[in-house]
Structure 1
Amino acid sequence: MIHLDTSFLIGALARGSPEDRKLREWLGASEHLGMSAIAWAEFLCGPIDKSVLKLATGIIRRRSSFAEEQAIIAARLFNESGRQRGTFVDCMIAATALSEGALIATSNVSDFRRFEPFGLKMAPC
């Protein structure tokens, strides 16, 4: 399972981008793709039009919930990775991937590297 971060999904929707090529590779290999509800909400903040939303919805059929288990993991990530202001959403996205044993695909690798010591694995992009 690979969870897409918002930045990766946005990049993947740009035809010919590195993210688009990687997404097509994963789809061709029948890789299971998903996204946290948190990242999906970020994506929906747009700007996006109906055609882009329809395309994204077709690609990302699984949007994983954020509940108590993920909240506990997110708080631990935030507290143990330095309590950096403005990073809690990344903690929430990482927590959802961790709770499902999923890799994370992101265009902002530096935002998520600090969670690797806690078990987060990056998808090869």
Structure 2
Amino acid sequence: MIHLDTSFLIRALKRGSPEDRRLRRWIQEGEILGMNAVAWAELLCGPLSPAEKELAAGVVEQRINFTPTHAEIAARLFNESGRRRGSLMDCMIAAAAIADGAPLATSNEGDFRRFADAGLTLAP
């Protein structure tokens, strides 16, 4: 499974974008694409057209609940990465991928590289 970050999926909805091409390749390869509830909520905050929302819902095969285990990992990531204002959402998204042992597809790699030592891998 590959976890999708909000930034990646927003760009992937634009036909012909690099993210769109990566997403299509993964679908052709039979990869399962998932998104945790936190990232899904962030996506729904839009702006999304009804057609984009429907397309996103069709692409994301698994929506992953945010669990107490994810919360513990997210808190550790937040505290260990300097408690940066505005970074809790990224910590929560990274935590779910780490807990599932899944790579994260993001268009904001710089925001997530700091979690590599905690076990986060970025999707190729």
Q: By the TM > 0.5 criterion, same fold? A: yes
Structure 1: runs of 5 or more not aligned: none
8 Å contact from structure 2 (residues 4, 35) kept in 1: yes
Aligned mates of 2:61, 2:123 — CA distance in 1: 19
Deviation at 1:61, TM superposition (A): 2.3
Equivalent position amino acid for 2:27 in 1: L
Q: Which amino acid aligns with 2:74?
A: A
Q: What is residue 56 of structure 1 aligned with on the other side?
A: 56
Q: Which runs of 4+ in 1 moved over 2 A?
A: none
Post-superposition offset of 1:92: 0.2
2:82 pairs with 1:82: yes
Report the TM-score, using the length of structure 2 for normalisation.
0.98
Match of 1:66 in 2: 66
Aligned counterpart, 1:92: 92
Cα root mean square deviation, aligned? 0.6
Name the counterpart of 1:10: 10
Partner of 2:28: 28
Find the aligned partners of 2:6 and 2:29 in 1 and give their Cα distance.
22
| 1:12-70 CA distance string (max 9 Å, x none) | 00000000000000000001110111000000001112111111100002111112110
- TM-score, scaled to structure 1: 0.97
